[in-house]
Amino acid sequence: MNDIIIFDTTLRDGEQSPGFSMTTNEKIQMAQQLEKLKVDVIEAGFPIASDGDFEAVKQISQEIKNTVICGLSRVMKKDIDRAWEALQYAKKARIHTFIATSDIHIKHKFNKTREEIFQMAIEGVKHAKSYTDDVEFSAEDAFRSDRGFLAKIVEETIRAGATTVNIPDTVGYAITSEFGDLIKFLFDTVPNINDAIISVHCHNDLGLGVSNSLAAVENGARQIECTINGIGERAGNASLEEVVMSINTRKNFFNVRTNINTKEIYPSSQKLVSITGVPVQPNKAIVGDNAFAHEAGIHQDGFLKNKSTYEIMTPQSIGKEKSNLVMGKHSGRHAFQERLTELGYSLDEKELDDAFKRLKELADKKKTIYEQDLIAIVEEQKQGFEEKFKLQYVQSSSGNRTIPTATVEIIHGKETIIDAAIGDGPVDAAYKAISRITGCRGELKSYNIRSISEGRDALGEVTVKVAFDDVIVKGKALSTDVIEASAKAYLNAVNRFLSNHSVDDPKVEKI
Ligand SMILES: [Zn+2]
């Protein structure tokens, strides 16, 4: 009873927040990383919410073998049926069904009575139970619910078959001691509470998501719902890395454990950044760039004499080791393949040929190639759609006294199309030329650049979000040259848009 279940909702609560949407293929990649991290439960989506969510839950259920896969549903029969339709392929499946129990929600969202809500909850749990033994019930907005009513609903949903009952602070309103007290109240009041696992789901609106979750653990909760990098609705959810490292670093205080492979924490955080293009703030606990940097002179002095003076955990414990040199210009195809296998990738012959060719191209531009570079090369290749337009070359000029100009050459089928444009800067000029060539005019919504590895010749990764009318599409690309990476990222968004939205070939304007 000292094991804490880590329930990851990065792909559901996290993914539904603005700027974090992922394709099915990206969700599968993230789910594979979560399995390596050894989370106990992956909440893969909300199947009735959209066809995309349904497809992702279904494919993750088919793909992931060792972790419990969970799908969210309201308590209505049709929601639960749809959730099961997607989850039925999972080796271990959980249905997570919910209804709000606070008077504010009951009155303003449902216009119903407590008694009606109570009946709906019980029926929902029973219906879910007809599909699987593993049923979780959530009392949405539990923290603001009437305590007596909440206790009754917890007791009866357990009696109806819920094996986990979740107590969310949906709006992030609770103060830590109050939230701990609510959990204690439930353990003191609900007679059959030990027949289920009590879970918590704390939002971070007041920056208390992690501390509220930990206070719940002190009072008997045994499942924490959390996300990588703390992403989620509004200010996000309790962050997985902070929850897990608090429990690990302060074992003597909490006296509980998790199954998490902490060495996969940093790689998981980086994977999410790479997929979504949203960086982590530098001072973010555990996974921020500065989390293990010791700058102040007096700190450095103490740190060099004995690390424990200023370090309560090591960067190695979360898998943040100094990047190791892995490949050079003269590395062979076989060594490359072995390294990829070690990193957990299996490529077919053609994929390996392509990746190896790109490794060689990179080695011509960059002296040392790090593990992160290899991962980036392979990940870029696995995007799962066909590129109608390929960048052949981009050349740009800019300066404080010239008009920024870019010339772009693109291959489209058997044609090669070239165009040039001026813009507010070299990147803008390149984007204008690409728009003209592809006939696909988008509006740049966001632009992010980060370096993948170390050194002046590091690979730069550009992530863009581009609006084509009301459809927002993400694009991503890598290069040692930022203008090239920027152009490729934009073209990647154009290609993704064309493949996702089955638009006919755009009119190609030739010059
Ligand atoms: Zn939530």
C-alpha 234 – ligand 1 centre gap (Å): 9
Q: Give backbone dihedrals phi and psi of 166, rounded to 5 degrees, phi first.
A: -100, 135
The segments of the chain whose pLDDT lies below 70 read 294-304, 322-326, 328, 384, 500-511
Cα gap 358→350, rounded to integer Å: 13
pLDDT of residue 455: 74
According to DSSP, the β-strands at 197-202 and 164-169 are parallel
**Tokens at 13, concatenated:** 């609560």
Which pLDDT does position 324 carry in this prediction? Answer: 55
CA–centroid distance, residue 199 to ligand 1 (Å): 13
Distance 257 CA to ligand 1 centre (A): 24
Distance 508 CA to ligand 1 centre (A): 45
Ligand 1 centre to CA of 354 (Å) is: 41
- Give me the pLDDT at residue 326, please: 66
Q: What's the 108 CA to ligand 1 centre distance in angstroms?
A: 19
Please provide residue 416's backbone torsions phi and psi, each rounded to the nearest 5 degrees. Answer: -120, 125
Q: What does each C-alpha distance from 98 to 34, 39, 167, 392 come to in angstroms?
A: 24, 22, 11, 51
CA of 13 to the centre of ligand 1 (A): 5
Query: Residue 322: what pLDDT?
Result: 56
Q: How far is the CA of 173 from the centre of ligand 1 (A)?
A: 13
Overall size of the chain counted in residues? 511
Report which of 74, 70, 67 is spatially closest to residue 57, judged by C-alpha positions: 70
φ, ψ of residue 242 in degrees (nearest 5)? -75, -40
Distance (Å) from CA 463 to ligand 1 centroid: 26
Question: What is the whole-number distance in angstroms between the Cα of residue 493 and the centre of ligand 1?
Answer: 29
Residues 6+ apart with CB under 8 A from 219: 180, 181, 183, 184, 187
Q: Residue 366 C-alpha to ligand 1 middle, in angstroms?
A: 43
CA 279–ligand 1 middle distance (angstroms)? 21
Pairing of strands 5-8, 415-422: unpaired
Please give the distance, rounded to the nearest whole angstrom, from the Cα atom of residue 113 to the centre of ligand 1. Answer: 24
Q: How far is the CA of 223 from the centre of ligand 1 (A)?
A: 14
Quote the pTM value: 0.83
What's the CA-to-centroid distance between 62 and ligand 1, angstroms? 25
Q: Which pLDDT value is given to residue 469?
A: 85
Residue 386's pLDDT is: 77
**Structure confidence at residue 308 (pLDDT):** 75
- In angstroms, what is the span from residue 475 Cα to ligand 1's centroid? 27
Which of 352, 330, 326 has the alpha carbon at shortest distance from 339? 326
d(CA 107, ligand 1 centre) in Å: 20
d(CA 501, CA 497): 6
pLDDT score recorded for residue 506: 39
Q: How far is the CA of 169 from the centre of ligand 1 (A)?
A: 8
Give the pLDDT confidence score for residue 69 in this predicted structure.
Answer: 98
Tens-place pLDDT, residues 433-486: 999 999 999 999 889 888 887 777 788 889 999 998 888 888 889 888 999 999
Query: What's the gap in Å between 170 CA and the centre of ligand 1?
Result: 6
Span from the CA of 412 to the centroid of ligand 1 (angstroms)? 44
Give distance in angstroms: CA of 39 to centre of ligand 1. Answer: 18
